Amino acid sequence: DSGVTQTPKHLITATGQRVTLRCSPRSGDLSVYWYQQSLDQGLQFLIQYYNGEERAKGNILERFSAQQFPDLHSELNLSSLELGDSALYFCASSGTGTGVYSPLHFGNGTRLTVT
């Protein structure tokens, strides 16, 4: 168990809809990262938050947004969903200890299916 909790595990929704994915990082971790894993794009970094503030952006669509709350949990909002948004979405967290030498610890992911 990585200590990172993601809910829900599965999500099935229709095109055009909006969903929210939730993530609770490991206790004490200030950084939260969101990744998208699809068959054709592999593992893509979306966005990073550190202690409530956006730290870095990757290949995140404008239809997607995220935030990190004071209790450090994070939510990824996906709107105007398209078939191509179907993917496994991971949240990961890391602490502040050893920087680049620290691994990211991943949650079990939320599998989103857009029909």
Partner 1 sequence: AQKITQTQPGMFVQEKEAVTLDCTYDTSDPSYGLFWYKQPSSGEMIFLIYQGSYDQQNATEGRYSLNFQKARKSANLVISASQLGDSAMYFCAMRDYTDKLIFGTGTRLQVFP
Inter-residue contact 91 to 5 (CB < 8 Å): no
Nearer residue to partner 1 within complex by CB, 29 or 105: 105
Contacts to partner 1 by CB under 8 A: 2, 31, 33, 42-43, 45, 48, 55-56, 58, 88, 90, 92, 99-109, 111
| Beta carbon of residue 7, minimum distance to partner 1 (angstroms, whole number) | 14
Inter-residue contact 91 to 48 (CB < 8 Å): no
| Beta carbon of residue 93, minimum distance to partner 1 (angstroms, whole number) | 12
Nearer residue to partner 1 within complex by CB, 77 or 102: 102
| Beta carbon of residue 1, minimum distance to partner 1 (angstroms, whole number) | 10
Inter-residue contact 89 to 74 (CB < 8 Å): no
Nearest to 19 by CA among 83, 64, 71, 54: 64
Nearer residue to partner 1 within complex by CB, 24 or 31: 31
What is the C-alpha separation between 66 and 76, in angstroms, rounded?
4
What is the C-alpha separation between 67 and 18, in angstroms, rounded?
15
Nearer residue to partner 1 within complex by CB, 78 or 110: 110
